[in-house]
Amino acid sequence: MKDQSDAAVQRYNAEDLPSALKDIPGLLHGKKPAVFLDYDGCLSPIVKDPEKAILSPQMRETLQQLAAVCPVAVVSGRDRANVAQLVQLDNLYFAGSHGFDISGPNNLHTEPGGAKAALPALKEAHEILKERLQDISGVLVELKRYAIAVHYRNVPDNQVDRLLQITNEVIAQYPELKKGPGKKIMELKPNLDWHKGKAVEWLLEELNLNQTGIIPLYIGDDLTDEDAFATLQGHGIGIIVGEHDEQTAAAYRLDDVAAVQHFLEKLTQVVKQQA
């Protein structure tokens, strides 16, 4: 699978896309799926406090049943250990920190992408951001293994511009880091050619899933998921949950977390029927 140039990627308005629930057998074209999902906004609703984004027992059971019939991976901006603890299922793969840290069954654990070199810069930038943003109400500066997340969902509107200006100024001090925008979040990430789409490609190759009888599905809701949607165009299927502020490279949509669960349940049944 090759990265597509941005000019070659087709983008759409999310509200114009067909529902992924309408015809799952037609969506699969007789192939077995390999399923990749973001966590926040897909498996658990977006909440003001990221630590309260708890997976429901029903969604956990749905994931467990799906993983019994096809490969399933959670690809998140969260730390890998954090998202694995939230999901609590041993038969899934986990790609944390936007794919810089990957684990899975049979003792799989690797950190592709070369992000370790950026750790000192992340540590320094985190300390500077904490100091410079401390007087902004509602801000949360979260140091992850391979990223810093500046959450501003709870910041008053009249302070957001200043927060973003300060964050951009700090990013500019460190050539080892780059900006990663999202929903009410600004991230500082290693300035490397690695993202969720690269992580999906790595997993497909590592797990020997680049086969004509397998179709990768990626379900995500955020701007960071667009890399995976774009990577899979023409090779797999992107499904956006809800919408964000830009056009999407996904081909289908789902409305919310409840619709994701319904889709995964129906997908499990279709795969069982195909067997």
Sheet of strand 140-143: strand arrangement = 140-143, 148-151, 185-190, 177-182
Spatial distance between the Cα atoms of 120 and 125, rounded to a whole number of angstroms: 9
Domains (ranges, CATH) in the chain? 6-21+30-113+194-274 (3.40.50.1000), 115-190 (3.30.70.1020)
Structure tokens at 56: 């429901």
Digits of tens for pLDDT over the chain (275 positions)?
445 556 689 999 999 999 999 999 999 999 999 999 999 999 999 888 888 889 999 999 999 999 999 999 999 999 999 999 999 999 999 999 989 999 999 999 999 878 889 999 999 999 999 999 999 999 999 998 899 999 999 999 999 999 999 999 999 999 999 998 888 999 999 999 899 999 999 999 999 999 999 999 999 999 999 999 999 999 999 999 998 889 999 999 999 999 999 999 999 999 999 87
Spatial distance between the Cα atoms of 216 and 208, rounded to a whole number of angstroms: 12
Spatial distance between the Cα atoms of 81 and 71, rounded to a whole number of angstroms: 19
- For the entire predicted model, the pTM comes to 0.87
Spatial distance between the Cα atoms of 182 and 149, rounded to a whole number of angstroms: 10
Handedness of CA 108, 191, 205, 246 (dihedral sign): positive
Among candidate residues 3, 6, 16, 38, the one labeled active-site is: 38
**DSSP element (H, E) containing 191:** none
> How many CB atoms neighbour CB 166 within 10 A?
18
Q: Which amino acid would we find at residue 82?
A: N
Structure tokens at 93: 């793969």
Asked if 193 is an active-site residue, the reply is: no
Spatial distance between the Cα atoms of 66 and 24, rounded to a whole number of angstroms: 14
The single residue listed with the structure tokens 């630590």 is 51
